[in-house]
Amino acid sequence: MRVLAFAASLRAGSLNRKLISLAVDIARAEGVEVDLSAFRDFDMPLYDGDMDARAGLPSGAAELEHRLRRTDAVMISAPEYNYSISGVLKNAIDWVSRARPMPWRGKSLYLMSASPSPMGGIRGLWQTRIPLEGCGALVFPDMFALPHADEAFDGAGRLRDPALAERLRRDVVGFVRLAEAVVPICGGAISALAQKKQEEIASALEDESQLQPPA
């Protein structure tokens, strides 16, 4: 199984980069092939419908779409901004959602966050789930929020608290096992009839006019 992993932060000293690195180590120990990406690889302008209509996805969004299509699952460590999703991540989700077929649909996805606050960024994670699930991602039920993250890592980049380290390990292993079970259903080879049905469903989901009566 192939997993795309990134911290949705542009800051060089990002605490979320430290956290995603730990999750990647756990996933690789479970035999998973992981593409650990820097979020700057996906640099893109603010979403502009006119730009989209004129030129399609900008290069950074196209790169994210390309990597999504090459992977079976995604792990994101996302900072909390003002009790909600970070602007750069929401912008990336919005741009990539314009591609067809929908790149997020059917991807198993695990969310985590590291924050200096006592809440660990959990409020932002609940907001982050909404657009991703709306785009068809299968977001893992459990999310990992690391509180007081500015004090949580030792000099080697490991979590100081053994209980938190064990919880992260259990969460990531559980996510990997579930994602592996989902891949044959959402990403495996299927019959021509089943493929046609999937395309019909995807088309309906991507066209609101077929899901609800005209206003």
Classified by CATH at the fold level, domain 2-189 comes out as: Rossmann fold (3.40.50)
Mean pLDDT of the chain: 90
- CA neighbor of 179 nearest in space, from 210, 132, 130, 140: 140
- Which DSSP symbol is given to 4? E
* Amino acid (one-letter) located at 143: M
pLDDT at 170 over 80: yes
Tell me: the pLDDT tens digits for 80-101? Answer: 999 999 999 999 999 999 999 9
> Of all residues in the chain, what percent carry a pLDDT higher than 90?
83
The stretch 28-49 carries a mean pLDDT of 96
Distance CA 27, CA 17 (A): 15
Please state, as a whole number, how many other Cβ atoms lie within 10 Å of the Cβ of residue 166: 11
The CA-based dihedral angle spanning residues 65, 67, 70, 71, taken in that order and rounded to the nearest 10 degrees:
-100
Q: Supply 142's token pair.
A: 């459990």
Domain boundaries of the chain, sorted by first residue: 2-189
Q: Residue 207's pLDDT is what?
A: 62
pTM for the whole structure: 0.86
